Amino acid sequence: MKIAKNPHTNPTSIKTRFALRFLRAINKLSNDNGTSPRPLNSADRRKRCRAIRAASYASMASAVGPNKAWSRAVLRKIRNRTKEMIKPRTRRGAARGSMNPRKELGLGQEKELRELVPGGEAMDFRRLLNETGHYIQCLRAQVQVMRKILHYSST
């Protein structure tokens, strides 16, 4: 399988790289917002939430590196719109379906999956499944690290 030969999939490295990047990004965010120590109004919080989420995705994508299509897509989107980076997955793509319709799979589901996985609009189905697998793993790691960070920051 393609992923197995990928030298950048050392598991600890991706996770720890993500953690380091994410912490750095959060620190930067908190330092930027550090002028007002407790901005607890909802607008600020939402903005901050969005920024943190974007930072998490970006750090995960950069930790994964440019070998994966989804990380490339995330990084591209970040680069293109650094200003307000909304969650890249919810964006409606060009809605170009797969070139050859698969009968054994629901077309709606495939389309949905393509929209879920960043950069998944333009790849064939096999590659989409590959990317989905990797993306799921990375998301899981992301969730774990974030949960841990939350735990340690809250206690």
Residue ranges binding another protein (CB under 8 A): 1, 3-4, 9-17, 19, 23, 26-27, 30, 33, 37-39, 45-46, 48-53, 56-57, 87, 89, 104-106, 109-110, 112-113, 116-117, 125-126, 129-130, 132-144, 146-155
What gap in Å lies between CA 88 and CA 55, rounded to an integer? Answer: 12
Give least dist CB 90 to another protein, A.
Answer: 9
What single-letter DSSP state applies at residue 122? G
Give least dist CB 62 to another protein, A.
Answer: 13
How is residue 142 written in tokens? Answer: 């992301």
Q: Which is nearer to another protein, 96 or 127 (CB)?
A: 127
What gap in Å lies between CA 144 and CA 68, rounded to an integer? Answer: 21
